[in-house]
Amino acid sequence: MSAPSHVGNTLEHAAEQATRKAVAYLTCLQERDGHWCAELTADTTLESDYILFQLWLYPPVEGKWEPETRSLIQKAVKSILDRQLPDGGFNIYESGPSEVSASVKAYFALKLAGLTLDDARLSRLRERILALGGIQAANSYVKVNLSLFDLYPREYSPTIPPEVSLLPFDLLYQMSAWTRAIVISLSIVHAANPRRPVPAGFTLDELWLPGVSPAFHRDPSFFTWHNTFLTVDKLLKWWERNGSKSVRRRAVEKAKNWMIERLHHSDGLGAIYPPMMYSVMALDVLGFAKDDPLRVEALRHFNNLMVDDGDRFFFQPCFSPVWDTAIGAYALEQADPGHESIAPAADWLLKKEIRRKGDWSVKRPNTEPSGWAFEYSNEYYPDIDDTAMVMLSLGDVRASDPTAQQAACKRGLAWLLAMQSSDGGWAAFDADNNWEFLSQVPFADHNAMLDPTCADITGRVLEAVAAHGLDRNHKAVRRGAEWLIKHQESDGSWYGRWGVAYIYGTCFALRGLAASGESDREAHILRAGEWLRSIQNADGGWGESCKSYDNRIFTGGPSTPSQTAWAILGLIAGGDANSLSVQHGIEYLLETQRSDGSWEENLATGTGFPRVFYLNYHMYKDYFPLLALSTFVKARAANA
């Protein structure tokens, strides 16, 4: 049912006014050099790991920390405790339940920082951990981290051997880019078996659930990949005790060279928190002095992730400047073409094009380097999603040097097309990163061992290449569209890998299909629209919980500005700009916009590793609603 025309006109006028306010707000956030970079926040595990890292770097002497270290640890403790749940545990996303790995990490950090066993906060946390299965139920990376301090038996934590760097078939490059950086750096540490000291008498014995074996659980069936890898893990543990020392030395040397090569031209290894931390540990066990320039720089990059402004203390998992700038510039251009803030943003993006061959080139050796990374500097890891978003932005935005822009766009387009996987879709960092059996290795429970093709990135790439003139006559576009149609869920939605969750995937699948020329009368487009309308909340907005990843089906949540914007954008891409659902969605955005032109959003709508790590992109709440409002106004004008 369509809204009455007079209501529509009033709504369009209000949307235009809200757009102007959102443009003004977004412009105020822009840095002087033209880029945007919002804070990126996650859960307490980053602060907990920071305290563990301080134990590695600056162990207390006679039970006492150095004053500066002690001060920072206390700030981290406050940051952790501020987020403790009423049941004593810690979650991995806002409003989520207590999660055992995050809770174990917090317990270790809080006890190490000085909380006593009879402290009510630690007591409640301990009870919650035991109710969740004890320390035995924590994930592999918790166990590996604790084993470095002899707080978890090495024999019951997974082996991460440096010999992985010597394996044939480019096995290392069959892992996801982020896992690759973690595994190599951590394998160097693991090979040294450091067993760093803890304060006298410090244990975690009270977290062991009686009667539960710490041994790896085996599948009931005799032959499964999981059981096979458990057998391999036993063999690797034997190898560590009895294997060739010369092979181990060669493996460590190759892993070291691999890591050090990627420390250059990057703001830390992989430019993300875990490998950045492990790389400093690796340099330590390799014998690098504390004042060695390489180690100093690696630690500096890690510490740059800290936010300590007097009122708040937390760590960001990484920085998001290219992502924020590309989306911000695109949203601004759609809302206010030719706005004075756009050209500086385009100029900044052009300077960030990567012209160096990275890990991606192992599978695409003959492709000319191009692409954009997520962070300020991460030249070995341009990613397909950021590159697509930059290309989409540069399709409309005009930089001050048109010749340089044209050349960069030509290279970027060629790189995107080359990175299409053989199944027709696009992944995040690599092509054909889909050896599913690798997800069964013992240290793969971070749920991100692979980088498979996904709907949200495939849809965005289709949008990007369409912005540069490619349509369904191009084979890559046809194959991408076919991949999306094939991977639609039975309820009409698409699974979103990098945003929460089915709303995100459905939005960008629909936008990609529309850009590729798919008719909005096709059954799969109509079903997607019906699905989006069916999950709308009573307040007119849309919301989805991170529980969708646990349940593997859409699980609703409170309305959020970003998810409401995605739903509206998806509906409009599917040919619906006039329904009451769209009208109510726009009304929700209008009613929740603050006086300064911004929106408020506390829930995580970004995804790091499904079921393990979620993100709150602090500009999602602003530039996606801006894009939705301006898209709505233009769509209604086109239909008038």
Pick from 135, 118, 98, 112: nearest CA to 47: 112
Catalytic, out of 43, 385, 423, 451: 385
3-state secondary structure 547-613: HHHHHCCCCECCCCHHHHHHHHHHHHHCCCCCEHHHHHHHHHHHHHCCCCCCCCCCCCCEEEECCCE
| Separation of alpha carbons 446 and 430, rounded Å | 19
534, 526 in Cβ contact below 8 A? Answer: no
Ramachandran quadrant class, 74 (left: phi over 0; alpha: psi -120 to 50; beta: rest): alpha
- Supply 119's token pair: 């402290």
Place of tokens 């929460």: 500
Cα 482 from chain centroid (whole Å): 26
Beta strands in 253-411 (DSSP E): 306-308, 313-315
3-state secondary structure 431-477: CCECCHHHHHCCCCCCCCCCECCCHHHHHHHHHHHHHCCCCCCCHHH
- Supply 290's token pair: 């504390």
- Supply 559's token pair: 């309305």
* Residue type at position 386: D
| Separation of alpha carbons 159 and 210, rounded Å | 25
Bridge partners (DSSP) of residue 579 are 2
**Inter-helix orientation angle 455-467/475-486, to 10°:** 150
Pick from 103, 69, 55: nearest CA to 83: 103
388, 461 in Cβ contact below 8 A? Answer: yes
147, 153 in Cβ contact below 8 A? Answer: yes
630, 335 in Cβ contact below 8 A? Answer: yes
Half-sphere exposure of 542 (CA within 13 A, CB side): 32
Catalytic, 622? Answer: no
| Separation of alpha carbons 410 and 501, rounded Å | 32
Q: Report CA torsion sign: 520, 522, 528, 529.
A: positive
Residue 637 burial by Cβ neighbours in a 10 Å radius (0-12, 13-18, 19+): exposed
| Separation of alpha carbons 610 and 628, rounded Å | 26
Q: For the chain, how big is the Rg over CA atoms in Å?
A: 25
Place of tokens 């916009």: 593
The four Cα atoms 399, 400, 404, 410 give a dihedral, to 10 degrees, of 20
* Residue type at position 531: W
Residue 215: which residues within 8 A CB-CB, separation 6 or more?
156
Bridge partners (DSSP) of residue 90 are none
Question: What number of residues does the chain have?
Answer: 640
Q: What is the largest CA-CA distance in the chain?
A: 81
**Active-site residue set:** 385
